[in-house]
């Protein structure tokens, strides 16, 4: 397998060069001490090999300390108090919003809405924008690559307003079929929702081109950035998508907080989804006047500690050159493909490594992914097994489930070699177990 020299243009369509401030070289060993679980042993003599970052990434000490500092020294509510602790909390909370805006290339931090995660962000668009602007007969384009969080909200919306769902096919090797996408586009299409990176196959759709084509027919584009934002150097000004959703916990931040980026004109036009405190300017007995964006979408007490932790995660990631991190994950993905393809009975799913991000899903002949994950755990290797909240994609591949490894900045080539060894051990254990069952049958 020969690596093409033009990897970045092929794999990262729709993103722009990094704005990172670090060195162009990256060594994962220099950051591993920042992540506490990597120094643990699951059992005596069995160190942790964490290959499940697509589900949730590990958290570095600077993020943990930022959250602890808020909880210990200024655990006040935001926006509502005039005392010192509340003012400090508000300043840290809104600074986190500014950091996120810079991280994704948004010129206006008011276009960054804090939510509880990618799922809530997409549901917010579906219910606030979709129920306001879509009507019966309007068409919504999705793809078979999508996570359930970018399918189910649109199914619910379609049932509510009478819209029609259409799905873009994928190619035989697991990439989005752009020809199928162009065939689906028409003047009836009002919204396109697409992943920035498949959470199963690592496929990276040509989002920039998809946005451009969608805007030609007057459609709004929602990008599920749960997997792409943590790993690809996204710039929303260049991408030009109308909405972008992502979560903190997949980018070295805490759980419970996420982001909806939206172009200001859309956020201004959308009604709030939830009513309550902070999202209003005035309330009388018969009516209310909404707060400005983004606060009109942030009813109630927000996830303050978590948002501050997200800001710390952005600080942590921005010390590195994003292209260098991408090159590191590319190296891991290439090594995983080569190593797994040399294991008898292993089928690697999805496109070639230069056409995907740091996610590699596979199956092992005769071994259910759930059994494989449990056997690998005995060797200290943490992977994901199941349908990964992408059942339509697995149905397309004629698989009930798959095993998935996913990488982040703290992973090493040596960990992939441990994974391969653990798979060989698991295969021997399973063959022995099957042989015992056959003898007693």
Q: Are residues 249 and 111 located together in one domain of the fold?
A: yes
In a domain, 344, yes or no: yes
Sign of CA pseudo-dihedral 359, 364, 370, 375: negative
Which CATH number goes with the domain that contains 427?
A: 3.90.1150.10
In a domain, 217, yes or no: yes
Instruction: Report the pLDDT value the prediction gives residue 13, as an integer from 0 to 100.
Output: 38
Residue 396: closest CA among 349, 348, 344: 349
Q: Are residues 217 and 84 located together in one domain of the fold?
A: yes
Q: How confident is the model at residue 81 (pLDDT cuts 50, 70, 90)?
A: confident
Percent of the chain surpassing pLDDT 70: 93
The encoded tokens of residue 185 equal: 């586009």
**pLDDT above 70: residue 2:** no
The residue among 318, 348, 367 that closes a domain is 318
Residue 384: closest CA among 142, 189, 199: 199
Give me the mean pLDDT over the 348-373 stretch: 96
The encoded tokens of residue 396 equal: 């397309």
Q: Are residues 235 and 369 located together in one domain of the fold?
A: no
Q: Are residues 20 and 89 located together in one domain of the fold?
A: no
**pLDDT above 70: residue 20:** no
Q: Are residues 232 and 112 located together in one domain of the fold?
A: yes
Instruction: Report the pLDDT value the prediction gives residue 10, as an integer from 0 to 100.
Output: 35
In a domain, 182, yes or no: yes
Q: How confident is the model at residue 235 (pLDDT cuts 50, 70, 90)?
A: very high
**pLDDT above 70: residue 6:** no
Percent of the chain surpassing pLDDT 90: 89
In a domain, 136, yes or no: yes
Q: Are residues 105 and 225 located together in one domain of the fold?
A: yes
Lowest-confidence segment of 10-19, 223-232, 410-419 by average pLDDT: 10-19
Q: Are residues 152 and 23 located together in one domain of the fold?
A: no
Lowest-confidence segment of 273-277, 380-384, 430-434 by average pLDDT: 430-434
In a domain, 1, yes or no: no
Q: Are residues 212 and 250 located together in one domain of the fold?
A: yes
Instruction: Report the pLDDT value the prediction gives residue 25, as an integer from 0 to 100.
Output: 73
In a domain, 2, yes or no: no
As for how many domains the chain has, the answer is: 2
Q: Are residues 124 and 180 located together in one domain of the fold?
A: yes
In a domain, 103, yes or no: yes
Instruction: Report the pLDDT value the prediction gives residue 344, as an integer from 0 to 100.
Output: 96
d(CA 134, CA 263): 18
Give me the mean pLDDT over the 361-384 stretch: 96
Instruction: Report the pLDDT value the prediction gives residue 432, as an integer from 0 to 100.
Output: 75
Instruction: Report the pLDDT value the prediction gives residue 441, as an integer from 0 to 100.
Output: 52
So which residues are the catalytic ones? Answer: 389
The residue among 280, 298, 318 that closes a domain is 318
**pLDDT above 80: residue 28:** yes
Q: Are residues 231 and 245 located together in one domain of the fold?
A: yes
Instruction: Report the pLDDT value the prediction gives residue 174, as an integer from 0 to 100.
Output: 97
Instruction: Report the pLDDT value the prediction gives residue 80, as an integer from 0 to 100.
Output: 80
**pLDDT above 90: residue 29:** yes
**pLDDT above 90: residue 67:** yes
The residue among 292, 318, 344 that closes a domain is 318
pTM reported for the whole predicted model: 0.93
In a domain, 166, yes or no: yes
Q: Are residues 164 and 287 located together in one domain of the fold?
A: yes
Give me the mean pLDDT over the 283-301 stretch: 95
**pLDDT above 70: residue 387:** yes
Give me the mean pLDDT over the 133-149 stretch: 98
Instruction: Report the pLDDT value the prediction gives residue 438, as an integer from 0 to 100.
Output: 52
Domain range enclosing 346: 7-58+321-440
Which CATH number goes with the domain that contains 258?
A: 3.40.640.10
Q: Are residues 37 and 21 located together in one domain of the fold?
A: yes
d(CA 3, CA 270): 46
């Amino acid at each position: 397998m020969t690596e093409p020299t033009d990897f970045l243009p092929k794999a990262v369509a729709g993103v722009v060069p990094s704005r990172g401030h670090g060195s162009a070289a990256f060594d994962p060993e220099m950051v591993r001490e920042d992540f506490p679980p990597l120094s643990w042993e699951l059992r005596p003599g069995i160190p942790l090999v964490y290959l499940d970052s697509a589900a949730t990434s590990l958290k570095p000490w600077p993020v943990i300390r930022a959250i602890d500092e808020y909880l210990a020294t200024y655990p006040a509510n935001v926006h509502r108090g005039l005392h010192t602790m509340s003012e400090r909390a508000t300043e840290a909370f809104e600074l986190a919003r500014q950091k996120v805006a810079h991280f994704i290339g948004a010129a206006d931090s008011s276009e960054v809405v804090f939510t509880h995660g990618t799922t809530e962000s997409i549901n917010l668009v579906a219910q606030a924008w979709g129920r306001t602007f879509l009507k019966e007969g309007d068409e919504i384009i999705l793809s078979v690559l999508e996570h359930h969080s970018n399918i189910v909200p649109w199914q619910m919306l379609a049932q509510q307003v009478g819209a029609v769902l259409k799905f873009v096919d994928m190619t035989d090797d697991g990439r989005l079929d752009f020809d199928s996408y162009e065939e689906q586009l028409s003047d009836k299409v009002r919204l396109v929702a697409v992943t920035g990176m498949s959470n199963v196959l690592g496929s990276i759709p040509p989002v920039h081109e998809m946005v451009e084509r969608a805007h030609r027919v007057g459609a709004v584009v929602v990008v599920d950035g749960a997997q792409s934002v943590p790993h690809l150097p996204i710039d929303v000004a260049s991408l030009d998508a109308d909405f972008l959703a992502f979560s903190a916990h997949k980018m070295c931040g805490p759980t419970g907080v996420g982001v909806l980026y939206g172009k200001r004109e859309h956020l201004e036009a959308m009604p709030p989804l939830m009513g309550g405190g902070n999202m209003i300017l005035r309330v009388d007995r018969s009516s209310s006047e909404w707060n400005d964006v983004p606060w009109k979408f942030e009813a109630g007490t927000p996830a303050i500690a978590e948002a501050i932790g997200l800001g710390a995660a952005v600080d942590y990631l921005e010390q590195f050159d994003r292209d260098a991190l991408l090159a590191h994950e590319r190296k891991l993905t290439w090594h995983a493909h080569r190593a797994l393809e040399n294991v008898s009975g292993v089928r690697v799913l999805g496109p070639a490594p230069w056409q995907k991000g740091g996610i590699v899903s596979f199956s092992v002949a005769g071994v259910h992914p759930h059994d494989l994950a449990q056997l690998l755990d005995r060797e200290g290797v943490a992977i994901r097994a199941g349908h990964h909240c992408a059942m339509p994609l697995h149905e397309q591949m004629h698989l009930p489930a798959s095993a998935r490894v996913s990488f982040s900045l703290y992973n090493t080539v040596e960990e992939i070699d441990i994974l391969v060894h653990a798979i060989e051990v698991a295969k021997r254990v399973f063959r022995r177990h099957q042989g015992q069952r056959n003898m007693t049958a």
